[in-house]
């Protein structure tokens, strides 16, 4: 047999979740025929067959997490030495064939192999080996690993590992939390004068452009390792989009040089692609600044997370009413709360305040 492994999907993606198999064991497939679909942190990707042949065995199931270089399936026939197919990992004479299959399946979901006795104990204790990180040689699972996990499970219950977008977001947030020195400014602006039906997103985008013109350092990339900063002329705005699968931040390009109709069409297009999970990975990269309009769901103020190399993110909260005064007369005023979180390594308080002041002035006009 020859074994087809998960190929390098590019963009630094090292893992994917199996969404759907398109072939069964025993099927004869052609070159470039779609074998299965996997979901990465950025998109759903179809994996084509690297060669023609008969599918002898599938090593992963729908819902499994598989890493680059781990086996997906085996083809019948002699060893194939193409890049995406590795040769015989074990033969019938090398030992128990079932041991290899179990080990391969565990490895394809992120869990290392284990001896038959350890697997038997894990099954008896109700421990899922795929959720363990082995402490033995080569990452193998030991007796202590299984017993320790069993005790934790008995004390605290079992947990479900994050996958796909949620897993990627958790890693990104953890990395940002370790790198960024965040500071937040909060303010609010009267919008009672806005006409009915005003497109709030477009007003926010225009206001962010005004902020960048007043303080160009807010639209920049910062390299924490080299302690260097690059101001970016074009404003490519990341727009936070909430979905049932998790948070996506597609990028609306060159917002300063597009008219309102073009921006609205671009926003709708990005949201539609995100909701249908058809957005290309490149459209989730390269933002120079971000906007989170979380107020459409709830909350007035927030401290949104700055994701390097960006240096700032604007948050818009839920509008509220309060008493206002005009020439001694009281009226019902509508206020829009705003938050600006910035990386204090790259921006100082004066720069951030100038950016926010210009943003508020634009919204007040």
Per-domain residue ranges for the chain? Answer: 2-156, 166-364
For the chain, the residue count is 365
CA within 13 Å, CB half, 326: 8
Q: What pTM value is reported for the model?
A: 0.68
User: 336-353 burial, b if ≥16 CB within 10 A, otherwise e?
Assistant: bbbbbbbbebbbeeebbb
CA angle 12, 74, 107 (to 5 degrees): 50
User: pLDDT tens digit string along 186-204?
Assistant: 999 999 999 999 999 999 9
| Number of neighbouring beta carbons within 10 Å of residue 114 | 25
Pairwise pLDDT comparison (326 vs 210), residue with the higher score: 210
User: pLDDT tens digit string along 258-284?
Assistant: 999 999 999 999 999 999 888 888 999
Cα 278 from Cα 292, distance rounded (Å):
21
Architecture of the 2-156 domain: Beta Barrel (2.40)
pLDDT of 156? 64
The burial of 279, by beta-carbon neighbours within 10 Å (0-12 exposed, 13-18 middle, 19 or more buried), is given as buried
Decide yes or no: CATH 3.30.559.10 for domain 166-364. Answer: yes
CA angle 204, 42, 169 (to 5 degrees): 70
């Amino acid at each position: 047999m020859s074994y087809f492994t998960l190929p390098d999907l590019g963009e630094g993606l090292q893992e994917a979740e199996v969404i759907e198999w398109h072939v069964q064991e025993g099927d004869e497939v052609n070159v470039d025929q779609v074998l299965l679909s996997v979901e990465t942190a950025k998109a759903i990707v179809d994996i084509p067959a690297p060669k023609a042949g008969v599918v002898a065995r599938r090593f992963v199931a729908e819902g499994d997490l598989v890493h680059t270089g781990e086996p997906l399936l085996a083809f019948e026939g002699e060893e194939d030495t193409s890049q995406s197919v590795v040769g015989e990992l074990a033969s019938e004479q090398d030992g128990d064939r079932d041991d290899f299959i179990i080990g391969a399946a565990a490895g394809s979901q992120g869990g290392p192999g284990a001896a038959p006795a350890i697997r038997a104990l894990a099954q008896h204790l109700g421990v899922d080996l795929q959720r363990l990180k082995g402490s033995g040689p080569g990452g193998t699972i030991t007796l202590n690993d299984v017993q320790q996990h069993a005790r934790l499970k008995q004390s605290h219950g079992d947990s479900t590992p994050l996958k796909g977008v949620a897993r990627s977001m958790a890693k990104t947030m953890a990395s940002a939390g370790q790198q960024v020195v965040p500071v937040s400014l909060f303010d609010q602006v009267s919008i009672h004068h806005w006409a009915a039906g005003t497109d709030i997103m477009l007003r926010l985008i225009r206001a962010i452009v005004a902020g960048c013109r007043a303080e160009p350092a807010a639209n920049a990339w910062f390299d924490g390792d080299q302690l260097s900063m690059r101001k970016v002329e074009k404003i490519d705005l990341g727009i936070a989009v909430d979905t049932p699968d998790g948070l996506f931040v597609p990028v609306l390009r060159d917002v300063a040089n597009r008219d309102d109709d073009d921006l609205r069409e671009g926003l709708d297009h990005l949201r539609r692609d995100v909701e249908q999970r058809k957005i290309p990975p490149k459209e989730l990269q390269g933002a120079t600044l971000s906007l989170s309009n979380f107020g459409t769901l709830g909350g007035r103020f927030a401290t949104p997370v700055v994701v390097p190399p960006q240096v700032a993110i604007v948050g818009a909260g839920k509008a509220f009413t309060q008493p206002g005064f005009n020439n001694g007369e009281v009226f019902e005023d509508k206020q829009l709360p705003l938050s600006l979180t910035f990386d204090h390594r790259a921006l100082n308080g004066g720069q951030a305040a100038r950016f926010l002041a210009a943003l508020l002035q634009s919204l007040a006009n």
